[in-house]
Amino acid sequence: MQNGSQVTVRPARNVRGTVSLPGDKSISHRYAMLAGVAEGPSRIENYSTGADCASTLGCMRELGVSWREKENGVIEIQGSGLSLSPAAALDCGNSGSTMRMLSGIVAGQKFSSEMVGDESLSRRPMERVITPLSAMGAHIASQAGKPPLRITGAALKAIDYTMPVASAQVKSCLLFAGLYADGETRITEPLRTRDHGEVALRAFGAKLDRRSSGQGNEIIIRGGQRLRGIEARIPGDLSSAAFFLCAATLFPGSQLTVPSLLMNPTRARLLDVLMQIGLRISVTQLDEIHGELVGSLQVEGAGLKGATIAGADSAALIDEIPVLAAIAPFTAQGIEVRDARELRVKESDRIAAVAANLRLMGAQVEEREDGLKIPGAQALHGAELDSYGDHRIAMAFAVAALRAEGDTLIRGAESAAISYPAFFQTLEEVTER
């Protein structure tokens, strides 16, 4: 039930049905950017409905790329080639992905760009892209490493760079900048992060090399490569599916089908963890579209053991940890999250937000600098919660509320629209009371 910006979620008996998800957010951003700098038209089906991906399209339009939205989430983009046109301020809204990845493209232009964001984005760290892009020759002014950014484009030179933080946004930013650089840009990531940037660049015709060594995963891109437009259908968003899969995990006997879901191995760690907790999962109709794996998922709730998420898993599950933590009290052994300090600099401080909301629902939680320890076998009661303006916090607690005693009110629930505007409606459709 939705009332302005707050939503009341009632406890449920079960979860059942079919959930078809809008296109993956990470892939949508990258396709919109690469289609814009490709040559010729692209036709993208099932583009993300989230406000973040609309921010990326808005910025591309400012940069002179023409596109139009057809019926049913189809976007047709007319590529401008690598050279874009000077823009008024580029409004990235709430989207860190837009600001970080697009900065790699505007850094290679012959003009200056101003990139701005909302209050939450204005608090987020940007030195992770400022440092390497400056080493490539761009000039970037910021507010002590935070937005707004003023990026003066330059003839970029290739660099050999080891990223200090495992971030797919930074990796994509530098690969995109590498298209504009003179020579071979080499990027090493300390932990394997999602590879949609690499997969998308190949889909648009670029050549990349990859090497794995003791130091990590190295990706190499040669500058000056021209991209060509594609026709593609974006697989359903796995991080949005996480909310429904976790809801199904809460109810033994639940049954959900999720057709055409993204199954990219660098994103699918969630499925292993949910199986370990007790969800039965089967996958059919596996297919590959432009290098991205897609499949249909059938799941059944069967048990609620616990899990520990640490090390490389924390990077691989970074967007799913809030909802896994929100269902942790209902598991038998609880959930412990370590090595996830990055959660503190997402759309909100997600460690603090999860701990505060779980406590309001009556749970015991140990909050740590880099994670959380949430004991299992706890009963939660409904409460008045805050989304902290963060889409994943709003959706995570709508899921926890399904197993609480009494109603839960979520303030700032409209933030779900950042990645998934239809979330609350779809959740209602699959919930039995």
Active-site residue set: 319
- Spatial separation of the C-alpha atoms in residues 255 and 248, rounded to whole Å: 7
H helix intervals, 347-433: 350-360, 391-401, 423-430
Instruction: Decide: is 431 part of the binding site for ligand S3P (CB under 6 A).
Output: no
CB of 145 vs ligand S3P, minimal distance in Å? 15
Among 6, 95, 97, 109, binds ligand S3P (CB under 6 A): 97
What track of x and - describes contact with ligand S3P for positions 170 through 199 (by CB under 6 A)?
Answer: --x--------------------xx-----
CB of 168 vs ligand S3P, minimal distance in Å? 3
Instruction: Decide: is 133 part of the binding site for ligand S3P (CB under 6 A).
Output: no
- Spatial separation of the C-alpha atoms in residues 382 and 9, rounded to whole Å: 9
Instruction: Decide: is 380 part of the binding site for ligand S3P (CB under 6 A).
Output: no
Nearer to ligand S3P, 167 or 260 (CB): 167
Stretch that binds ligand S3P, among 104-112, 163-171, 242-250, 363-371 (CB under 6 A): 163-171
Residues 313-352 that bind ligand S3P (CB under 6 A): 318-319
Nearer to ligand S3P, 98 or 431 (CB): 98
Closest CA to 161 of 186, 136, 197, 178: 186
How many residues sit close enough to ligand S3P to count as binding (CB under 6 A)?
A: 10
The CA dihedral of 19, 24, 25, 30, to the nearest 10 degrees, is -160
Residues 280-319 that bind ligand S3P (CB under 6 A): 318-319
Instruction: Decide: is 103 part of the binding site for ligand S3P (CB under 6 A).
Output: no
Determine how many CB atoms are found less than 10 A away from the CB of residue 287.
12
Nearer to ligand S3P, 109 or 193 (CB): 193
Strand, coil or helix: 270? helix
> Residue 160: beta bridge partners?
186
CB of 252 vs ligand S3P, minimal distance in Å? 31
Nearer to ligand S3P, 164 or 406 (CB): 164
Stretch that binds ligand S3P, among 12-20, 167-175, 257-265, 355-363 (CB under 6 A): 167-175
Give me the amino acid identity at 239. S
**Residue 220 in tokens:** 């190499």
- Spatial separation of the C-alpha atoms in residues 349 and 366, rounded to whole Å: 15
Nearer to ligand S3P, 9 or 234 (CB): 234
CB of 37 vs ligand S3P, minimal distance in Å? 17
Four-residue CA torsion sign, 120, 107, 206, 35 = positive
Instruction: Decide: is 26 part of the binding site for ligand S3P (CB under 6 A).
Output: yes
CB of 218 vs ligand S3P, minimal distance in Å? 18
Question: Long-range contacts made by residues 51-54, C-beta under 8 angstroms, separation at least 24?
Answer: 51/93, 51/94, 51/95, 51/417, 51/418, 51/419, 51/421, 52/25, 52/93, 52/94, 52/95, 52/97, 52/98, 52/418, 52/419, 53/25, 53/28, 53/29, 53/95, 54/93
Nearer to ligand S3P, 95 or 331 (CB): 95
Stretch that binds ligand S3P, among 41-49, 74-82, 84-92, 165-173 (CB under 6 A): 165-173
CB of 386 vs ligand S3P, minimal distance in Å? 20
Nearer to ligand S3P, 15 or 51 (CB): 51
3-class SS string, 164-229: CCCCHHHHHHHHHHHHHCECEEEEEECCCCCCHHHHHHHHCCCCEEEEEECCEEEEEEECCCCCEC
**Residue 111 in tokens:** 């003009």
Closest CA to 180 of 67, 37, 64: 37
Closest CA to 192 of 217, 215, 173, 210: 217
Among 168, 309, 354, 398, binds ligand S3P (CB under 6 A): 168
**Strands, E assignment, 66-159:** 66-69, 75-78, 90-91, 112-116, 139-143, 146-152
Instruction: Decide: is 167 part of the binding site for ligand S3P (CB under 6 A).
Output: yes
- Spatial separation of the C-alpha atoms in residues 92 and 59, rounded to whole Å: 7
CB of 377 vs ligand S3P, minimal distance in Å? 30
Stretch that binds ligand S3P, among 62-70, 164-172, 207-215, 370-378 (CB under 6 A): 164-172
Stretch that binds ligand S3P, among 86-94, 162-170, 253-261, 291-299 (CB under 6 A): 162-170
**Residue 71 in tokens:** 């019926």
Instruction: Decide: is 55 part of the binding site for ligand S3P (CB under 6 A).
Output: no
CB of 71 vs ligand S3P, minimal distance in Å? 26
The residues binding ligand S3P (CB under 6 A) are: 26, 97, 167-169, 172, 193-194, 318-319
